[in-house]
């Protein structure tokens, strides 16, 4: 089925097999930019509007459009989409009829270009474009640069063979994605129930954060936490080795992501640590940036430095179990209320003062532990599926590197 290629030619994108050609992005497809919808166009009913957020996270809710629009902005299942601003990426749409927002191209392959092969080939073109992006906060490339990026083009029969191989891995990834999606749905439903109705309660009361069991109480965080503080407000010089420097981009719902972590000098860390000293069991809560509201429990047993975009919350163990507080802050109901008090226009943020005044439900400690155990079981399942997906993605990247460069060829009958 496969064989190793030995005959290569030079091309604008490096060495490719002798019988392949390198084609400019503009020569393999037409690119239709989405419509410039304004917030006034957003409705609660109608066709979903595909924005970059919806491509990156299938759990993000859609805005809708119920007016008249040119057919070229309509997207159907199996259409190829190419995000070119803020988040550069390639996608095959599979979530029903929708309309396309600006900053995303609908890609129409030209004759003798297999649509699914072009999907994979565009990842090669994307790597070239990422080296040419403009902007610091809103990264993007210019349309004219499609003339300067190339994709590999084997014969059509081989295109189909490559799609067949990579499609097997993509199908496996899609199955894992479905399990992850269902697990997330289950978790959201359980959070909504457990954090508003508790376990085994019959009587409820209305409070400022909604209906909760009669026996529960509502407290401001400042009244049930020993310390609420953010990290450093200056930028220490990154070091190749030293003390880990944790910023908002390292905070995940499941913990602290140490991938590509940077470090600071021990002397800088000591100065910062006097003010903000995260310990095992403290909560880390993102207070500004694109993932504002993301919260996790610190499980690192060693010292690290925090940037000001993250708040450290140290619960009083007489009132709050750390994992219960994490789930309470992460619950759909409370998260919506809490993020509704953000300030700022260009960059939305939660101030320390507002965080200290956030209100949370407080059951007795035994019930807090039961709720945490139930939800942590779901989280464990999610992490296992995430690891399975990451492994499949590594296999996919390896295969793409071999098949899309022609280092390994697919035999065509």
Q: What is the mean pLDDT of each run of 10 residues along the chain (413 residues)?
A: 91 92 91 90 91 82 91 94 80 93 91 89 80 53 76 92 95 94 92 95 95 96 96 84 91 90 91 90 90 92 91 96 96 82 61 94 97 96 95 96 94 80
Strand partners, 17: 8
**DSSP label at residue 137:** S
**Tokens describing residue 69:** 């629009």
- Give how far Cα 80 sits from Cα of 114, 133, 135, 274, 385, Å: 11, 21, 25, 52, 26
Could you tell me which of 229, 255, 231, 228 has the C-alpha nearest to residue 323? 255
Residues in the chain: 413
Q: Judge whether 334 and 209 are in contact, CB under 8 Å.
A: yes
Could you tell me which of 102, 82, 100 has the C-alpha nearest to residue 92? 82
Pairing mode of beta strands 305-306, 243-246: parallel
Per-residue pLDDT, 29: 92
**Tokens describing residue 315:** 């619960």
Q: Which CATH superfamily is domain 1-7+154-201+364-413 in?
A: Bipartite methylase S protein (1.10.287.1120)
- Give how far Cα 138 sits from Cα of 87, 133, 141, Å: 8, 10, 10
Q: Where in the chain is the domain with CATH 1.10.287.1120?
A: 1-7+154-201+364-413
Per-residue pLDDT, 380: 94
The C-alpha atoms of residue 245 and residue 75 are separated, in whole angstroms, by: 43
The C-alpha atoms of residue 313 and residue 281 are separated, in whole angstroms, by: 9
**Tokens describing residue 191:** 């959070």
Q: Which fold has domain 217-362?
A: Adenine-n6-DNA-methyltransferase TaqI; Chain A, domain 2 (3.90.220)
In terms of Cβ atoms closer than 10 Å to its own Cβ (0-12, 13-18, 19+), residue 76 is: exposed
The C-alpha atoms of residue 242 and residue 308 are separated, in whole angstroms, by: 19
Per-residue pLDDT, 137: 47
Residue 167: CB partners within 8 Å, gap ≥ 6?
116
406 Rama class: left (phi>0) / alpha (psi -120 to 50) / beta: left
Cα-Cα end-to-end distance for the chain: 10
Its CATH architecture, for the domain 21-151, is Alpha-Beta Complex (3.90)
**Tokens describing residue 303:** 């010292």
Q: Judge whether 308 and 231 are in contact, CB under 8 Å.
A: yes
3-state SS class at 320: coil
Per-residue pLDDT, 339: 78
Longest dimension (CA), the chain: 77
Q: What is the pTM of this model?
A: 0.80
Per-residue pLDDT, 346: 47
Number of H helices, E strands in the chain: 10, 28
Per-residue pLDDT, 377: 96
Q: Where in the chain is the domain with CATH 3.90.220.20?
A: 21-151, 217-362
């Amino acid at each position: 089925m496969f064989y190793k290629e030995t005959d290569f030619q030079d091309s604008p994108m490096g060495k490719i097999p002798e019988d392949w050609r390198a084609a400019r992005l503009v020569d393999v497809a037409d690119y239709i930019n989405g419509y410039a919808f304004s917030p006034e166009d957003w409705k609660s009913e109608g066709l979903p509007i595909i924005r970059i957020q919806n491509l990156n996270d299938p759990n993000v809710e859609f805005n809708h459009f119920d007016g008249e629009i040119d057919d070229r902005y309509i997207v159907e299942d199996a259409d190829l989409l190419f995000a070119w601003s803020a988040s550069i990426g390639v996608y095959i749409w599979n979530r029903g009829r929708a309309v396309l927002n600006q900053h995303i191209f609908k890609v129409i392959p030209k004759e003798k270009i297999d649509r699914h092969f072009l999907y994979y080939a565009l990842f090669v073109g994307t790597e070239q474009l990422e080296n040419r992006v403009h902007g610091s906060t809103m990264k993007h490339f210019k349309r004219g640069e499609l003339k300067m990026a190339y994709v590999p083009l084997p014969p059509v029969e081989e295109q189909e063979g490559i799609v067949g191989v990579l499609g097997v891995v993509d199908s496996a990834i899609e199955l894992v994605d479905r399990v992850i999606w269902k697990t997330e749905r289950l978790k959201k439903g359980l959070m909504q129930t457990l954090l508003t109705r508790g376990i085994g309660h019959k009587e409820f009361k209305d409070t400022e954060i909604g209906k909760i069991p009669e026996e529960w109480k509502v407290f401001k965080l400042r009244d049930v936490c020993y310390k609420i503080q953010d990290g450093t407000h200056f930028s220490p010089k990154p070091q190749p080795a030293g003390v880990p420097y944790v910023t908002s981009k390292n905070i995940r719902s499941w913990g602290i992501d140490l991938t590509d972590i940077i470090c600071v000098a021990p002397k800088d860390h000591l100065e910062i640590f006097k003010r903000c000293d995260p310990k095992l069991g403290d909560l880390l809560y993102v207070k500004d940036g694109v993932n504002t509201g993301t919260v996790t429990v610190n499980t690192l047993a060693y010292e690290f430095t925090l940037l000001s975009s993250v708040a450290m919350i140290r619960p009083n163990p007489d009132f709050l179990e750390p994992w219960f507080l994490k789930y309470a802050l992460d619950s759909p109901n409370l998260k919506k209320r809490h993020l509704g008090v953000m300030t700022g226009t260009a960059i939305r943020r939660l101030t320390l003062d507002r965080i200290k005044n956030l209100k949370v439900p407080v059951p007795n400690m035994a019930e807090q532990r039961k709720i945490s155990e139930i939800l942590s079981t779901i989280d464990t399942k999610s992490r296992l599926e995430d690891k399975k997906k990451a492994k499949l993605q590594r296999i996919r990247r390896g295969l793409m590197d071999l098949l899309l460069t022609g280092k390994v060829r697919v035999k065509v009958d």
